[in-house]
Amino acid sequence: MTSEPLSLADALASFDALWSPRIVTAVNDYDVRVAKAEGEHIWHVHDHTDEFFLVLEGELRIALREPAGERTVVLPRGSVFTVPRGTEHKPSAPAGASILLFEPTGTLTVGDHHDAVPSHVDATTGHALR
């Protein structure tokens, strides 16, 4: 964390890895993370926390498995959405996207329960921004 303002564009330009969030700052016990997304993530669940998404560039889709059935929310640039704790979900960005997330520090990107993790998805609690 820095005591100076941080450009999100510069933060995103500092790495190329997909589905591998960087921690840009912290707010109380939460990480503020940025990530680049393209293709599909995995189905996963966070048992103890909601997950907040803000789309900075591109379009993000989040498939949800809810008691009423499966649905997909589409988030164009500038949109926000919160996946409620305990909801199985799968983010995807067919044409690519840049996103900002709020998650409790230490939250694993693949949740508490998940499908097998493919090589293009980084199972991490976030990487420090360099």
What is the tens place of the pLDDT at every residue in 28-79? Answer: 999 999 999 999 999 999 999 999 999 999 999 999 999 999 999 999 999 9
Among candidates 55, 63, 64, which has minimal Cα distance to 34? 55
pLDDT of residue 3: 80
CA distance 75 to 61: 6
Rounded to the nearest integer, the mean pLDDT of the chain is: 95
The angle at the Cα of 55, spanning 53 to 110, to the nearest 5 degrees, equals 40
Residues contacting residue 26 through CB under 8 Å, at least 6 positions apart: 1, 32, 105
Q: Which of 92, 93, 60 is nearest to 76 (CA)?
A: 60
pLDDT > 70 in the chain, percent: 98
**Cβ 102 vs Cβ 50: under 8 Å:** no
Look at residue 10 and give its three-state secondary structure: helix
In the chain, the percentage of residues whose pLDDT exceeds 90 is 88
**Which pLDDT score is estimated for 2?**
66
pLDDT at position 12, please?
A: 97
State residue 74's pLDDT score. 98
Task: Give the pairing of strands 127-128 and 88-104.
Answer: unpaired
Q: How confident is the model at residue 96 (pLDDT cuts 50, 70, 90)?
A: very high
pLDDT digits (tens, 9 = 90+) for 18-29: 999 999 999 999
pTM: 0.93
Which CATH superfamily includes the segment(s) 8-128?
Jelly Rolls (2.60.120.10)
